[in-house]
Each structure stands twice: as structure tokens, then as C-alpha cells.
Structure 1
């Protein structure tokens, strides 16, 4: 459903995937006309999770859309309606009564239904996908497509009793030869009576820590503790050892997985468990012509199989928090992951807006809250291709870095720059990440000069080339490799780029742009097959290999057939 493993043994979880009623609301009159009470006729049925832009006639549609479905709740103490992500503003009603609202396209949220009536209920969701240049993250200035809809799973959880676990966050720490598990959990009493119950944390079903707590009606309590874990097997890409943690309380339980590993910087090296790490990665968007960003699990598995065949060891989740099921699979397969919040391409003027800084801070907190348990994540990337040559960007970055270090001191922090030679913020990052485009050159200079001058600016600090590549339309072949848009041209430029980064001993790794083609930004560009941002893939959008795939594969896996 929403994860790649079972997340509870006590709650009844009902997946709401299926056809929902949907109507567009181009005039944004739905709230005034109370569509949450009287859902309009004349719409259509659409699949959830999904986006309306994959429906016939709605590729170009950006704005408000309304969804409706029916759900059944059994006898239970309380229930939760959970959304893995909605892009990007959601208002939710149950039986005409408001449950709440949420902002943020790629992060989960949930609403409580205290003492629900058993039986059938009507769930209505208003989704606003409007992007602007003033307040939204991401903004209207993008190089990926602006989708709208309920694009990740929705489900209902029935709670067995009034005492329940509202959240469980694990942060594994490895330092000075010891493994410690930091735990943050919230225990809640949703009932009308006082409860006095024990809680127990188990690791691989072995008790690790327990206690007792007394909660008054509607009271919540946060547990904060750290416990040493003996005889730990460390998580590595070659041996991705995972542990299952289960917190039990008052008849409820929640299960989370994690792995123990250390990440530190030493000179120009990134050390994973004390061993220098060299990243061979690809950039990857969540996109498919038939599904948009609502990728089903089999397609995620196929993408990871292709990644392994290519010889890559890491994914850069461009440019937003990815589906948590993909992170679960990366945990299992030992695939390193760089996670990013969608602060992409923001100008000096945009970064000066309080609403942007505040929303970015909230998104980073929520991302770390959701994903701190995943051992595959090696870095938090705080923005990409923004005006980091300005004091406004530096103020935003300083705030975000403070948040990341406070919330999760076990991972490295970074950001992506596309103007490394005049960037004013490189000193803030643990790892410097640079983009190199325009046919293998940037700032009108060749690869070696650009990287040498960047190295001179940053000193002995890890550096990665996190974006480089060129576009090609699948099937567009040429007799010469200097024809832009041809597979031969893309193959030559990528071969040159990969050789450049592989030959340098002062780089901690690289990410090729990108694994597969994606829909381009904006409806106009989405209709143009030669749009460069959409055609940089080693594979086309349907995952068919271009010439560059075999070229890069040969460089990443020398000697392999």
C-alpha cells in the first residue's frame, strides 16, 4: 500500500486506491457553492493515486479539482484518514464536515476521526495545483511538469483502542564504535477516560526499552530517549542490513525499519562507516507518460533494476521528496539516495519573501520527520539552481542548515549550484554539488578548468558533479555525433562527461542527468518532443534505452557484457 513492508499488526488499514469521482473547478467556486455537501454531477471517474493531467483533455489543466469517494469504517475507538501526498494544497471533508487542510506537494498528512460512526462515509478532497512566482514551493518556474492531483496512496486506519501511537521517528547513530538508536514517539489518548498503560520498544522483536505512562483524556505525551544497541551489523551498499523496530502501547503498535551506518567528511572524502565513498549515480524524476508522478510499485522496481543494470549506485531524487516506497526499496537494495526539498530555481526576490523561507523550513522539518529512519539517505539537499550568489539565499540556507543539523546531525547537508564560480554559499555545505551543462562546458570553459577553479575556491572539501548531460530524442539517429538532439550527440557528450569525472581523484562522485525522459515544464513544452529538459534521459519516458545507456553502462561497468 503506502510502504514496502507491514507498518502495524493491530490496526485495520483500508486502501482507498480505485476510481474516485472528479470534477474540475476552473472558476474556484466549489467552496462558495458547498461542493463538499453537494458534489456536482457531470464529472468523471479518475484513478487515485493519480493526476488529472494524464486524463484526456486535461494535460494543460492547472488549478482546482474536486475528488469524492466513499469509505467504510468498522467498530473502532478512532480512525485516521492518511494521505501520502497531494499536489499541492488539499482541503478535506468527511460527510460535509471539515477534517483539515495541508500544503506541500510531496509530503504526508493525516486527519483524525474521533469516535467514528460505523458504516459508509463520504470523503471529499479539494486539490489546488496552482503555482505562482510569489508563494508556492515549487514555483511556476520549473524544468519539470506541474502536475495536479492525489498522486500518492490514500488509506484509512482504524485504531483498536483510545491509546495510540501518533508518530514514531528513529534516528540511528554510529559513533566511537557504538550504535545508538534515538527515538521520538508521541503517545495519545483519544478517549474520554484516563488510561494507564505500558509501552515497549522492540528491535527485531527483542525488547529494547519499556515504560509506563498515564494519559488524561485528549492528552498526548512525547517520548524522547536513546538506547544503545549491541552487536549491530552496519548497513552498507554491499550488505544492506535492516532492523525492524516495533513500538507497542495500549493495544496499538507501529512498525518502522532502519539501519545503522555512519557518515562523516574527511578532507575531500565522504566516509561511509569509515570507508571512502565514491558515488556513481543518476538523477531521477518521478514521471511516466501513463502515470505522471503516481508511479505504481512494479514500475519503481523496474527503475531500480535498470539502475542496477546500468552500474549506478545512487539516486538523486530530483527535486523533491520521493515516494517512501522507493526509499524502502533503496534501503533493501543498498542504493544510496540524496533527498531534496523542491526549492528549485528561486530568484533573489523570491528568496527574500518570508512565505518562501517559512514554507521551505516547514518542508525540510517534515521531510526529515518522515525519512530519518532510512539508512539509504546520505544527504539532505536544501535547494537547487537558486540565486545562491546573493545574501538573500545565504540567509535562507543558513536557516535550513540549522534545521537540518538540529533535526538530524547524522547526515550531511548540501545544495546544488549552477554557478559555482560566483556562489556565495559554498562554505555552508558539507559537500559541494555543482551542475555542468551546455555540451560539457559551463561559463564558457572546459570541464577541467571549471572543476579546477571550483576546487581552488572550496579547498579540501568533498565535491560532486550532480548534474551533467545532454538531450536526445529516442530514435533520432545521425551519421555524425555533432547533430544536437541525436542519440549519437548525447552519447558522445555523456561519454566525455563520465570520463572527466571518473578521472578526477578529488571528486567524491557524480550524478548523470538523467535516468529517463520526463514530461517537460509547462503545457507548451510538454507538447514539444525536442524539449531539452525532458529528453536528457539515458532511457526514453517508456524506459526504452537510447545509445547513451549502453555507452554509460560500459563506463560504469567496464568488462561487463
Structure 2
């Protein structure tokens, strides 16, 4: 499963992209931020319950440079507006097409060499302005675009102009250092909230107002609790995220400069702030559905720490309910016990050929019946197992055909249309399988895989890790935390049939530290997924791999 770079254009995809992007339009709340989560789960509400604020949009930004990462901002900061999500060191170029690349007729008239012949190569001259501009600035041809665009000796010709001038390269491209992002959101006074980050890299310090609340490394979704403001009547909360995209083995060894893709820094995926109905941090931290057959599931309901301490709270549930969260006639459950072997009414199996999906709502209520929280998850009824040399999907052998994929176009910040296009490309090729390389996947992409019936391998951040890593307590602590976050975020995705880790790590090493690392990661992912995923890793040690006993499937990388 060697990584395949792809730069494919399919004209037939355009209509699907437009349609899907239109369908993803969002409601807007009273403070101007979108109020509908861009990913599952969803949070239906009545008069009470959590309120969603999607903080995708304009934030204040400042690049602070090569300085220590500290919780407090410098006294003087020069802010500028940027659109979040944002990879500050990998922003797309903005080509000056009209200035640097004339139209086809102008090219024929003006771009001639000293001998009177066209200096524009044949591959370029007939394509017109748009495609020539795209080709010359495309990062697929290296960090300076297509070299053939810049080889003219005549500085007055289109080819003689500089890459930086013509392609609009952002001044922070490839810069390493500390950056700051800041946004305001208006909430009801005296309410607690949750901050959900889909991906922030490499290391991120999060503060709300002046209170430090999180230090996170690695690329995976994570959630942090935000206590209610201590200032009476305060409505506006200020979210500040400091991002360090430098490599440092002491603080965030899960990111390393030798990994085989560019690790960009910034707020790379969606940011949400969920306001709770009061100052109490009682909410549903997770609702996870684990299929046990094509009709029966186990349901795990995990309340927040505060809610778990309140034995008086009530929990109710229903499959495939309509709009809203009117739970008066729903069945009850005990949060700590969940549901075991419950039958899904009207059960329809999920498969690549028929990706049927079901929904489950769970409500948390006060003893009075007042709603505290309501979560709706989407899931599919499918099983995955092995038998001899076969992988079984819904008890039938399945042959996997697909590709490795990175979250990357001209930036690691992808639009909904970019994700739809990738799905359509995979489907057009005839793939039924995609491997997310080499980090937890964007939940929007997994939502699309659920809908379109694509099978997914998802893995924890890592690449060719060594005994030095496996012996490093910080590395292992962060890797296990990333495993927990990935497994929690993807628990309800039927498309995800593999959980992996340590891609091409030194698994041929039989030392106790290496064995302990592989066993710990495999055990953690198997536990968190309740046995509903196959556990593996990309191994280039083949039959010399010393730790295959911890894997459900042997995945050997054999490069020609």
C-alpha cells in the first residue's frame, strides 16, 4: 500500500461537487456564526439544550515568529483577518494569471524568443490562460511550480517573470514559528461551553478569555470544557489559539521532520463552540453504537465527568426519530450500563453496494424532565472479521481495492467540494477502499465515505517510528491519546473497518520497548472500538515483523 500521489481532473465530477456543496449550506445563529454542525453527530434542541456555534470564518491572526511558545500573548500584536480553517504556512497561491500569462492569441504574438520562434513550449501554448496559469503554479511540480515556466532567458517574456511575483506565494509559505488566532463569540451570560477542534497542528495552546484550558499535540479531533465566565453578565467570550508548527522532541515528538508529507501548522479543520444551557458542565460526552450483528447493536453512553457524578439525571433514547428532541415517550437507559444487544427496528445492513444508515438519539434530562443535552448519531449495521486469509464484511469475503490518500490539494485545508471530488474520483476508478495517510481523518470525509459506501483504513499519526520513539514516554503518551481521540471520533462510522498505527515503524525490532508499544496501541484501539474494527499497521518488515500476534490482518508494504 505505497502512497499514491494523485492530481486527477474529472469533468463529470463538477455537477456532483456543486450539488453536494449546495446541500451542505448551513443555518446561521444570532451572533453570525453558523449554527449547524458540519459533521455528525448532530444536536437537536427544543427550548433548552446545547447550542452550536461553528467558528469557521473570519478570525484575527498574527504570526509571532521564532519565539518560545507561551500561554500569554506578547504585549504588542499586529493582527490581520484570515479565514479559519487555515494552514498559515501552506496557504494556496494566488496566481496573477492576467498579468503573467496572456491569452492564447497574446502568447502567440508576444512570447517569442530572440530567433523569432515561440518561447512558450507546445504543451503550454494551446491550452489557454487558465490551464497555463494552473500548470505553471501547480505545487505538484515542486516547491517552485513547473520549472518549464521559468526557464526563459528573456526577462520581458511571460516565462521570464518570477514564480513569487506571478504565483502570489504567501509570505508565510513554509515558515516555522508561533502563530496566534483569535475570535469572539457571543453566549448567554453564565453558561458553560465546549470547544471542539477538528484538527490543530503541530502543537496548540488554547485559552478562553484569559483562562488557559488546553495544550494539545498531534492531528486528531479533540474537545475541551470551557467553564462559565466568572464575570457577571459577560456575553462575549474570546477564544485564542496559539499554534507552534516547529518540531520539538521534548514537547510534541508525535510530529517529526522526517515524516513523508508536509506537516502544516494552523487550525486545519472546523472549530465549534457548543454552549450549554447553564453553568453546569453536565452533557453527553459520547454516544457510541457498536454493531453485534446486522440487526443488533450495543450502545455506549458516556456522560461528562460532572454528569456522571449526578445519579439523579435521566437518559432516554430512540432509533430513527424525527426532528427535534421530544423524549417524553422514549425508552430509558442507565448511562453507565448502556444498551446491550438491542434490536434496531427496520434494520437495513450497511455495505458498499447499499450504504444504508440509521440514527440514534439520546437525551439527558433533569429529574424534572428539563432537557440538558440531546445528541443524534448516525451509524450503519455492518460487521467485519477475518476467516483464514479472508476479510469478511457482513459475513461475506470482500476484496479491497483502493489507494492511499492525503488531505492535500494546494493546501491541507480542504473544502467540502474538494472532499466530494476525491470521493467521486475513487468511485469513478472503481475503488471500494481508501487508506487515510497517516493521521486521523477529517470527519467530513468519513461522513461522505459512510454515505457513498467506501471502506476506510484510518490510523494514528506516525511514520517509520523507531525504538527511540517507542522508548520515549512523551511519544507513547501522546500516541495513546491520539488513538483514544481517533477511536472516539470515528466510533459510529461504518465505513471505517481498520484502525492502524505506526506506519512502517521498526516492527522488525524485537526489543521490549517496541513490543510494548505495539501491544499497547493494538490493545487500546481494540478496546476503544469494542472489537468492531480490524487492527493492523503498514509493515515493511514482512515476515520478519516481530509483533504480528497483535494484529488482526498482516499488511505488508513491498516496494518495487
**Contact 2:60 2:181 survives alignment (8 Å):** yes
Q: What residue in structure 2 maps to residue 16 of structure 1?
A: 55
Cα distance in 2 for partners of 1:182, 1:190 equals 18
Q: What residue in structure 1 maps to residue 73 of structure 2?
A: 35
Q: What residue in structure 2 maps to residue 151 of structure 1?
A: 268
Cα distance in 2 for partners of 1:168, 1:194 equals 17
Higher relative contact order (CA 8 A, sep 6+): 2
Task: Tell me, yes or no, if structure 1 residue 432 matches structure 2 residue 471.
Answer: no
**Contact 2:208 2:226 survives alignment (8 Å):** no
Q: Relative to structure 2, which stretch is displaced further, 66-75 or 110-119? A: 110-119
**Contact 2:351 2:453 survives alignment (8 Å):** yes
1:42, distance to aligned residue in structure 2 (A): 2.6
Distance 1:208 1:131, change over 3 A: farther
1:107, distance to aligned residue in structure 2 (A): 2.3
**Contact 2:41 2:375 survives alignment (8 Å):** no
State which of 289, 295, 299 in structure 2 corresponds to 1:182: 299
1:66-87 deviations in Å (ceiling 9; x for gaps): 1112221135642222222211
Q: Which has the higher strand share?
A: 1
Distance 1:347 1:160, change over 3 A: same
**Contact 2:199 2:219 survives alignment (8 Å):** yes
- SS state at 1:14 partner: strand
Q: Note the 1:63-142 alignment, pairs <5 A.
A: 63-75=177-189, 77-114=191-228, 117-132=233-248, 135-142=252-259
Q: What residue in structure 2 maps to residue 216 of structure 1?
A: none
Cα distance in 2 for partners of 1:264, 1:208 equals 33
1:320, distance to aligned residue in structure 2 (A): 0.6
Task: Tell me, yes or no, if structure 1 residue 390 matches structure 2 residue 509.
Answer: yes
- SS state at 1:363 partner: helix
- SS state at 1:397 partner: helix
Gap runs ≥5 in structure 1: 213-220, 442-561
Q: What residue in structure 2 maps to residue 233 of structure 1?
A: 348
Q: What residue in structure 2 maps to residue 412 of structure 1?
A: 534
Task: Tell me, yes or no, if structure 1 residue 333 matches structure 2 residue 452.
Answer: yes
1:222, distance to aligned residue in structure 2 (A): 4.4
Q: How many residues align?
A: 423
Aligned-CA RMSD value = 2.6
1:481-539 deviations in Å (ceiling 9; x for gaps): xxxxxxxxxxxxxxxxxxxxxxxxxxxxxxxxxxxxxxxxxxxxxxxxxxxxxxxxxxx
Structure number with greater Rg is 2
Q: What residue in structure 1 maps to residue 14 of structure 2?
A: none
Q: What residue in structure 1 maps to residue 166 of structure 2?
A: none
**Contact 1:78 1:190 survives alignment (8 Å):** no
Q: Relative to structure 2, which stretch is displaced further, 388-397 or 20-29? A: 20-29
Cα distance in 2 for partners of 1:344, 1:22 equals 31
TM-score (normalised: structure 1)? 0.70
State which of 236, 242, 255 in structure 1 corresponds to 2:357: 242
1:133, distance to aligned residue in structure 2 (A): 5.1
**Contact 2:503 2:539 survives alignment (8 Å):** yes
1:174-230 deviations in Å (ceiling 9; x for gaps): 24x751223132156589x98944321111129774147xxxxxxxx7454424114
Cα distance in 1 for partners of 2:69, 2:484 equals 32
Distance 1:77 1:121, change over 3 A: closer
**Contact 1:139 1:346 survives alignment (8 Å):** no
State which of 439, 452, 471 in structure 2 corresponds to 1:352: 471
1:258-303 deviations in Å (ceiling 9; x for gaps): 11111111110001111101011111000121xx222111211111
**Contact 1:182 1:226 survives alignment (8 Å):** yes
Q: What residue in structure 2 maps to residue 527 of structure 1?
A: none
Task: Tell me, yes or no, if structure 1 residue 286 matches structure 2 residue 400.
Answer: no
Cα distance in 2 for partners of 1:295, 1:51 equals 10
Q: What residue in structure 2 maps to residue 465 of structure 1?
A: none
**Contact 2:456 2:496 survives alignment (8 Å):** yes
Question: Which 4+ stretches in 1 moved above 6 angstroms?
Answer: none
1:148, distance to aligned residue in structure 2 (A): 0.3
- SS state at 1:358 partner: helix
